A and B are shown apart, each in its own frame.
Chain A
Amino acid sequence: NAGVTQTPKFQVLKTGQSMTLQCAQDMNHEYMSWYRQDPGMGLRLIHYSVGAGITDQGEVPNGYNVSRSTTEDFPLRLLSAAPSQTSVYFCASSWDFNTGELFFGEGSRLTVL
C-alpha cells in the first residue's frame, strides 16, 4: 500500500550540481505532477503529465526537466541547481486530471548552497 513514493527525502547540493528527484506511484494513475512549496507561497506547479510520454509545464518550470516513460514513474531533474531552487518538493498523482483529489508523496527537502 505504498501510494506515492518520493526519494530522496533530504538532499543538499552545491550550486551548479545536477540531481534527480524520483517519484513513483502504484495506483495506476495517469495524472502526475510536481510542486514546490515555499514559505508564504503555497504550492506551485512545476510540471505535470497526463500519461506516459506526455508532459507539460506548470507555473514555475524553469530550471527543471521531467519525463514520463512509464505510468508509474515521473522523475524531476535539476540540471544545474541554483539557490533559488531550495525548497520542499512534492510529487502528486490523481486518477483524474482535474476532478480527482491529489495523492501526495511525503516530500523532498532540497537545499542548494
Chain B
Amino acid sequence: AQKVTQAQTEISVVEKEDVTLDCVYETRDTTYYLFWYKQPPSGELVFLIRRNSFDEQNEISGRYSWNFQKSTSSFNFTITASQVVDSAVYFCALSEARSGNQFYFGTGTSLTVIP
C-alpha cells in the first residue's frame, strides 16, 4: 500500500490564483515526520518544509503555507498568489521513527502556472 498519496497528478492554474496540493499519508507510528520537496524544471530537488507528528500548527512562509491535520492524515500545501516560478513537481514524503532510515515519497504533483 502506498504510504504517501498525492492524488493530483497534474494541476494548471493561472498566475495569481491560489492552489492547494494534497498529500495523504498512512502510518501506524505515533512519531513520524512529513516533508515537502520541490523539483523545478531544472531537475534538482529542493527541501521546503519538515513537520513532526507532535506539531499540528500550520506554518506559513511567504506565499507558502502548510496544513497538517492528523485527524485526516493529511499534510496539504497551499501556494497563494501563484507565480510562474512556482511551476514544478512537488513531492510529499514521510519518514517513520520506528522503521527509520527510509523516506517514503508520493508520486508527485506537477504544477503548471500559466502567465
Contacts and interface: CB of A to CB of B under 8 A. Distances in A.
B115 interface: no
Contacts of A104: 44-45
A97 interface: yes
Interface residues of A, number: 27
B95 interface: yes
Interface string A27-55: 00001010100001111110010100000
Nearest to A99: B33
Contacts of A35: 105
A41 B96 contact: no
Contacts of A103: 47
Nearest to B108: A42
Given A103-B47, A104-B45, A97 B101 contact: yes
B43 interface: yes
Given A43-B91, A48-B101, A50-B101, A101 B50 contact: yes
B54 to A, nearest CB: 12
A102 interface: yes
A102 B36 CA distance: 11
Contact of B107 (A41, A101, A102): A41
A101 B52 CA distance: 12
Interface of A: 31, 33, 35, 40-45, 48, 50, 56, 58-59, 88, 90, 92, 97-104, 106-107
20 contacts: A40-B9, A40-B107, A42-B4, A42-B105, A42-B107, A43-B93, A44-B105, A45-B102, A48-B101, A59-B102, A92-B45, A98-B101, A99-B50, A99-B95, A99-B97, A101-B35, A102-B37, A102-B103, A104-B44, A107-B44
Given A42-B91, A59-B102, A102-B35, 16 more contacts: A35-B105, A42-B105, A42-B106, A43-B91, A43-B105, A56-B101, A98-B95, A98-B96, A98-B97, A98-B103, A99-B33, A101-B47, A102-B45, A103-B47, A106-B43, A106-B44
